[in-house]
Amino acid sequence: MKGGAALAIGTVTVLIAVGALAFILWTITDYAEKCKTEQSDVCDTLNGPSFPLLIIVLIIAGLVLIASTVVYILVTA
């Protein structure tokens, strides 16, 4: 039963992480689309080289979270 609880906790953690990353990416993309009609200081940042870097960092953070969750499941099960 201990392994099942760890698996459930890990699954919930991964689902929350994926949902949060999807929400963040969706919000950033919507804001970048909004910048095509309105200009602000943030629009210069989103249209520059930092936007792809931000996306890459978020993807790497998601992969690290998934890997640490898998390690948690394997260690506690």
**pTM for the predicted model, two decimal places:** 0.63
Total Cβ atoms within 10 A of residue 62: 18
- b vs e for 26-61, b when ≥16 Cβ sit within 10 Å of the residue's Cβ? eeeeeeeeebeeeeeeebeebeeeeeeeeeeeeeee
Total domains in the chain come to 1
Per-residue pLDDT of the chain (77 residues; tens, 9 = 90+): 566 777 787 788 878 888 888 888 888 888 878 877 887 777 777 677 777 787 888 888 888 888 888 887 778 76
Q: What share of the chain is helix, strand, coil (3-state, %, to 5)?
A: 85, 0, 15
Range of the domain at 43: 2-76
Report how far apart, in Å, the C-alpha atoms of 64 and of each of 14, 15, 52, 56, 68 are: 11, 14, 18, 12, 6
